[in-house]
Amino acid sequence: MKTNCVFCRIIHGEEKAEKVFEDEDTLVIEDIFPRAPFHYLVLPKKHFDSLLDVDDGALLGKLLITAKKVAEEKGFAPQGFRVVLNCGRGGGQSVFHLHLHVLGGRSLPWLPG
């Protein structure tokens, strides 16, 4: 855990967030600044600053499977959804704890950003 990481503090119950799903490796929360009617963040419980720090393919796969499950359980998977992983400041990352954005509930035209 990094004490200066807001997502680590949420994972450890030190800060509040609206939890959507949790298992031994992941936590899914609602984004506090949603960009779509459904906007969730899929977090690994283990801290990684970004994708550049991860070599664990099983964990990355689990994050994607979790994103799919949330879209299915919340009912917006049939209409389509987007999964975004920002990497580094130049890539749009603002919280430096690896996380996936899962967005749906409206048309999401290309180009994101």
Residue 51's pLDDT is what? 97
Active site residues: 99
The DSSP-derived string for 14-47 is SS---EEEE-SSEEEEE-SS-SSSEEEEEEESS-
Structure token pair of residue 24: 């031994």
**In the chain, where the domains are located:** 6-104
Phi, psi (deg, nearest 5) at residue 89:
-55, -45
The per-residue pLDDT for 72 is 98
Neighbours of 53 (CB within 10 A): 12
> What are 32-56's pLDDT values in tens digits?
999 999 999 999 999 999 999 999 9
- Domain 6-104: CATH superfamily is HIT-like (3.30.428.10)
- Mean pLDDT of the residues in the chain: 95
